[in-house]
Structure formats: structure tokens, C-alpha cells
Structure 1
Amino acid sequence: MTHNRPKPDDRSDNVEKLQDMVQNTIENIEEAQESMEFSNEQERQRIQAKNERREESIAAMREEIKDEASDRENGYQ
């Protein structure tokens, strides 16, 4: 019988992972903006709505980056 133990919480690279996620999301927004040029009105509205959700996600990720950086500075590794 094996015991499944949870992996230890490794937050050492969370800031970097979040920064990569922000950058990728920004690139997705830019690509979507470019595709709007070739889209019909319905598609443009859908893309705009999705980009608004992406902007909200970026704001949340940036807050999480601040929290993680603060935790790191305060000794959590």
C-alpha cells in the first residue's frame, strides 16, 4: 500500500511564472487586436470581450506578483 503525500509547497519561482503569464497574455491581446482587422462585427465584439477579460486577468496576476514578491522578501522561499 502506497501513501500519496502531497508535494511540498514550492513557491520559489511563482513571481517568474506569473510574469511569464502576464507577458503571454499581453501577446495574446496584441494578436487578437491584429486579427480584429479581418473579422466581422460579431467576431470583433467577441474578441473585444475576451481582451477585456484578459486585461482583468493581468491586473489580478500583477497583484499576485506583488504579494508573492512581498512574501519572498519577508523570508518565504
Structure 2
Amino acid sequence: MAYNNKPKPDDRSDNVEKLQSMIHHTIENMEAAEETLRYTDSEEQREQIEAKNQRRRESIESFRAEIKDEANQAKTE
């Protein structure tokens, strides 16, 4: 039996839009976590939230760098 599996073409036309959406949602999650920090007495939970938000900040930096890469890629095409 023959398979006609063909890879989908690389459609990067909406990558910047998707990345911007991811940044927006990540910021919303950070803000919600910061709100939770105001109401917790647990030092362990506080440390976990702060660590997670630090990882989120790093992700946002990566998303922004990727947006720049996408913009540069679009200029060369």
C-alpha cells in the first residue's frame, strides 16, 4: 500500500501575529499570577509563582526576538 504523505508547505505568513498573541497571553498570565501573589501567605507558592513569572519573562524575550527574525526574513523575501 502506497502512502502519499506530503509535508505541508511552510506557511509563515501569520507567524508574527501568532507570536504577538502568545506575548499578550503570557503577559495576562503573569498579571494573574502577580494578583495571586497578593493573596498568598505561602512562601513556597510565592517562590513558585516568582520563578514561573521569570520563565515567562524569558519566553517573552524569545518571542520578541523571533518576531524580529520574522520581520527580517520578510524583508529579504
Give the TM-score, by structure 1 length.
Answer: 0.92
Runs of 4+ in structure 1 deviating by more than 4 angstroms, as ranges, are none
Distance apart, 1:52 and its partner CA: 0.2
Give 3-state SS (helix, strand or coil) of 1:43's partner: helix
Q: Which among 38, 54, 57 is matched to residue 55 of structure 1? A: 57
Question: 5+ unaligned residues in a row in structure 1: which ranges?
Answer: none
Distance apart, 1:5 and its partner CA: 0.8
Partner residue in 2 for 1:27 = 28
Q: Which amino acid aligns with 1:23?
A: H
Partner residue in 2 for 1:73 = 75
Partner residue in 2 for 1:16 = 17
Give 3-state SS (helix, strand or coil) of 1:8's partner: coil
Q: Percent identity?
A: 55
C-alpha distance in structure 1 between counterparts of 2:17 and 2:76, whole Å: 17
Give the TM-score, by structure 2 length.
Answer: 0.92
C-alpha distance in structure 1 between counterparts of 2:12 and 2:74, whole Å: 9
C-alpha distance in structure 1 between counterparts of 2:23 and 2:56, whole Å: 9
Distance apart, 1:37 and its partner CA: 1.3
Give 3-state SS (helix, strand or coil) of 1:37's partner: helix
Q: Which amino acid aligns with 1:41?
A: E
C-alpha distance in structure 2 between counterparts of 1:73 and 1:5, whole Å: 28
